[in-house]
Amino acid sequence: MKESTMRLSFNQPAFIPWGGFFARLLSTDKMVLLDDTALAHGFTYVNRNRIKGPLGEVWITVPLKRKGRSGQKIKDLEIYEKDRWAKKFLLTLEHFYGKSVCFEPLHREIKAAIGTPDISFMNLILGLLGILKANLRIDKETVLQSEMGIAGKGTPLLVSIAKELGAQEVILPYFSEKAVESGRFIRENIGVRFLRYSPPPYPQFWGEFIQNLSVLDLLLCLGRQGKRVIENGTKILS
C-alpha cells in the first residue's frame, strides 16, 4: 500500500480568518501558525478582518497594546481595553447577523470565548479558531511555531519547520508563488504546490455578494453548509 503524503501549510495567526485560511487547513494534515514572527508595521490581517453590513464591508479590528512595544512578536501581543472591545464586537455581530437562523449558538460560543479577563491576543485567536473549526467540522491539527523552538524568517524558516515535522509536501497560497524560493524546498525533497481559493457566490445578507470576507460571514449565512463552499472554491495547482 502506498504511503500517504504528509502535507503541511503555514499561516500567521489571524483574527476570524477568511475562507482561504480554512481551504489550506482542509487541504493539509497540519498547519503551522507562525506566532514567533514579528507583527508587521502598517496594515495586516493578523488582528483585523471584514464582515458585511447594509453599506458593504465592515472592518473589525482587535486593538493591541503598542506603546513602547515596537517589534513585538505575535505570540506576545496583548489586547488593549479588551472588555470594551469585546462588547462592541458582540453587538456588531448581533446588529448585522442577529436575524440569521445560525446566529444564536455561534454568538453564544464566541461570547464565552472572548468574555474573559485574559488579554493574551494568541489565546483569543486560538479560542476563536477552535470555534470556527468545530462549526465547519474541520478536524485538522494546528501547531504553534513558538512551541517548536524554530525561529527565522522567509523561506528558510518554512523549510526548517517542514523538515522538523517530516513533511513531504507544502501547500502555499498561490499569491505567494513569486515570494517563495521553491528551490529550497525541492533541494530537501519537499514538494511545493500552490492553492488558489475562489469561492462561488453564496447567499449573503445585505445586497450583492462580496468575496473573501471573514469565514464568520459564511457561517452566519449558511451554518455548517459553509464548508462545502470552501471545498468548492479550492483548487490546488500542480
Helix (H, G, I), strand (E, B) or coil at 184: helix
**33: β partners:** 11, 144
In this prediction, residues 24-40 reach a mean pLDDT of 96
pLDDT at position 3 is 60
- Can you tell me the distance from the alpha carbon of 141 to that of 77, in angstroms, rounded to the nearest whole number? 23
In this prediction, residues 139-167 reach a mean pLDDT of 96
Q: How confident is the model at residue 1 (pLDDT cuts 50, 70, 90)?
A: very low
17 pLDDT above the threshold of 70: yes
Question: Are the C-beta atoms of 19 and 191 separated by less than 8 Å?
Answer: no
User: Mean pLDDT for the chain?
Assistant: 95
Report the amino acid identity of residue 32. Answer: V
Query: Quick check: pTM over 0.85?
Result: yes
In this prediction, residues 107-129 reach a mean pLDDT of 97
C-alpha cell at 112: 464565552
42 pLDDT above the threshold of 90: no
In this prediction, residues 159-177 reach a mean pLDDT of 96
In this prediction, residues 181-186 reach a mean pLDDT of 95
152 pLDDT above the threshold of 90: yes
